[in-house]
Structure 1
Amino acid sequence: MDTLNQPATATLSTDLLEPGAFQPRLYFSPDALADLTGSIRDQGVLQPLLVRPRPGGRYEIVAGERRWRAARQAGLTEVPVLIRHLNDQEARMAAAVENLQRENLNVMEEVRARLQVAAAILELPEDQTVARMFALDRRPDSDPERVERLDAAFTALGRETWRSFIRNRAALLNLPEDLQEAVRTGLDYRKALILARVPDPGQRAALVDEALSGATVAQLRLKVTGGPSDSGDVFVSVARQLRDRRLLERLEPDRRARAEKLLRQLQTLLG
């Protein structure tokens, strides 16, 4: 990262800035943006944006897109910036960490930001990162340096370890788009993971309404698994659970090994 001979802060025209490629925030609340616009109109932009140079004399926003949007809405033509020469891996890491530390992300955005941190550490595309993390969880001795860096990064971010992240919340990134949007706008992610088992979008939409109206996780699970008429049928219950391979992948290593052994035994018996 080359920061030599650069001022701590500079001022750039808002027209020279463009949204970043690694912005984890996909939804900008109009109300929150309006509040920030009012604050910037009164006090200006108090926190500089982090940017990196791009071809043609333009700059990509690494962190601070919401401030840039609000500044333009407030009528500002210039904003304070920190200019840094960052490669893609460094920009991805900086964008994720900056947002996790300073912005009020919704759950989907927070999960994506944490995935970006892991992707930067593993030097992988995001769509390959979770699989690699599961592999490292199973065999941490295969790359102890990366494991140590993941441990340190997630400890610094707080809330959860990278192992709990891949088992509990990374699956949100595989939700159907309608459920991802529902989580962005307030649906509890635990309820969304249950509703993801419902293949019909219309039925999912009805259950989302019930969830937002107060239906509990247990009530939704009962509806999704078929209700009291088959809740005691172990065959029906297990068959439904096995349709989602991610449930098996999220188990602790010893429990996953036991489950796979039982499945092989069942396969032999049925065969």
Structure 2
Amino acid sequence: MTRKARPAIGARLSGLVEGVGTLGQPATMTLLLSDLQPGAFQPRVHFGTEALEELAHSIREQGVLQPLLVRPLPGGRYEIVAGERRWRAAQQAGLTEVPVLVRDLTDAQAQLAAAVENLQRENLNVMEEVRARLQVAASTLGVSPEQAVPRLFALDRRPDEDPETVARLDALFAALGRESWRSFVKNRAALLNLPEDVQEAVRTGLDYRKALVVGRVEDREQRQGLLEAARAGATVQALREQIADPQERRADPTQAVLRRLADRRTLAGLEGARRRKIERLLQQIGELLDSAET
């Protein structure tokens, strides 16, 4: 069965994403599959064989229900901005042409359209979702994906320097759902810097928080052992203990807790209830220390 875009997200994005407001309109024309080519800004890297065959089966029965978004290229060809999975599945299904929306988009608009269209779907793996969100941020900032992360950190530290861009990022990420851009850059953007074997583990279901711990290990053989432990159910803390220096393991546990609290990602990565509980405990510790000094 084909995956449909989530209308609630599409509605909230209306008017926020310049140049892609036409997504979801009826097809304006059909094009030969041979006239189309994959886009340069596709967040997807892996197209699962089984999922692609499932989509091809649906297309054989129902056709392509949602048009591809394409932009014209010199020489009469077209670049796929959004819908490469449908294009690939249509080829497998034996189709010769597909419905399309043709739009003249700049590189920045095409990059944003590709990211948003993919994020409206529910079958992205974590790595693809992170890559798509980074493309949204990069397009909003007018920089490359590689430059986007340090720029986001700078805006997080000094939001008053560019309040308009901060407001645009806030609106786009709120419309996309799941997390703010601040939470994204502090917690999940680092996944794109992990070794390939760890990224592959995330693509196949490993919790990203465990992956960030395992990814600190340079030795591939040691990483494989940690990945096996993580898949078997080892907690984030257990993985941290496995990679800790022996001297650190014997260190004062108070110092170990203080080091973790000093890491800004510790609290930022916690969900609401856990974070509130830790904040209450810290408040109680502060009150005990205050009473000890009186």
Bucket of the pairwise TM-score, normalised by the shorter protein: 0.7 to 0.9
Partner residue, 2:209 = 190
Q: Answer whether contact 1:166 1:250 (CA < 8 A) is retained.
A: no
Letter in structure 2 aligned against 1:137: D
* Distance in 1 of aligned mates of 2:207 and 2:122: 19
Q: Which residue does the alignment assign to 1:139?
A: 158
Structure 2 unaligned blocks of 5 or more: 1-18, 269-294
Q: Tell me the equivalent position of 2:220.
A: 201
Alignment CA distance shift 1:102-1:2 (3 Å)? closer
Report SS of the residue matched to 1:102.
coil
Cα gap change, 1:98/1:127 in structure 2, threshold over 3 Å: closer, same or farther? same
Aligned residue for 2:95? 76
What is residue 31 of structure 2 aligned with on the other side? 12
Segments of 4+ moved more than 6 angstroms = none
Give the secondary structure class of the aligned counterpart of 1:191: helix
Equivalent pair of 1:93/1:117 in contact (CA under 8 Å): yes
Structure 1 partner of 2:8: none
Residue 189 (structure 2) pairs with residue 170 (structure 1): yes
Show structure 1 runs of 5+ residues with no match: 254-271
Instruction: Please tell me the residue identity of whatever aligns with 1:52.
Output: R
Q: CA deviation at 1:8?
A: 4.8
Structure 1 residue 125, shift from structure 2 partner = 0.6
Contact kept, 8 Å, 2:27 with 2:99, in 1: the verdict is no
Aligned length: 244
Distance 1:41 1:231, change over 3 A: same
Q: Which residue of 2 aligns with 1:49?
A: 68
For 1:268, the equivalent position in structure 2 comes to none
Aligned-residue offset at 1:210: 1.7
Q: Matches of 1:8 and 1:44 in 2, distance apart?
A: 13
For normalisation by structure 2, the TM-score amounts to 0.77
Q: Report deviation, 1:44.
A: 0.7
Question: RMSD of the TM alignment (CA)?
Answer: 2.6
**Local SS of the residue matching 1:231:** helix
Q: SS of the counterpart of 1:82?
A: strand
Residue by residue, what CA displacement relative to the aligned partner does 1:125-179 show, whole Å, maximum 9, x if unpaired?
1101010011011111111110010000000000100001111101111111111
**Does the CA-based 8 Å contact 2:27-2:67 persist in structure 1?**
no
* Partner residue in 2 for 1:265: none
Counterpart among 67, 71, 84 of residue 86 in structure 2: 67
Determine the C-alpha separation between the residues in 1 that align with 2:166 and 2:103. 28
Tell me the secondary structure at the aligned position of residue 249 of structure 2. coil
Alignment-derived partner of residue 231 in structure 1: 249
Q: Partner residue of 2:117?
A: 98
Q: Answer yes or no: is 1:117 the counterpart of 2:126.
A: no
Residues 1:87 and 2:106 aligned together: yes
Task: Note the alpha carbon deviations across 1:169-220, whole angstroms, 9 max, x for none.
Answer: 0111111111111111111111100001211011101211221122222221
Q: Which moved more, 1:128-137 or 1:217-226?
A: 217-226
Q: Secondary structure at the match of 2:120?
A: helix
CA 209–81 in structure 1, closer or farther in 2 if over 3 Å, else same: same
The 1:2–1:109 alpha-carbon spacing in structure 2 relative to 1, beyond 3 Å, is: closer
Classify 1:128/1:249 alpha carbon distance in 2 versus 1 (closer, same or farther; 3 Å). farther
Instruction: Say whether residues 1:23 and 2:39 are aligned partners.
Output: no
Please give the TM-score of this superposition, normalised by the length of structure 1. 0.83
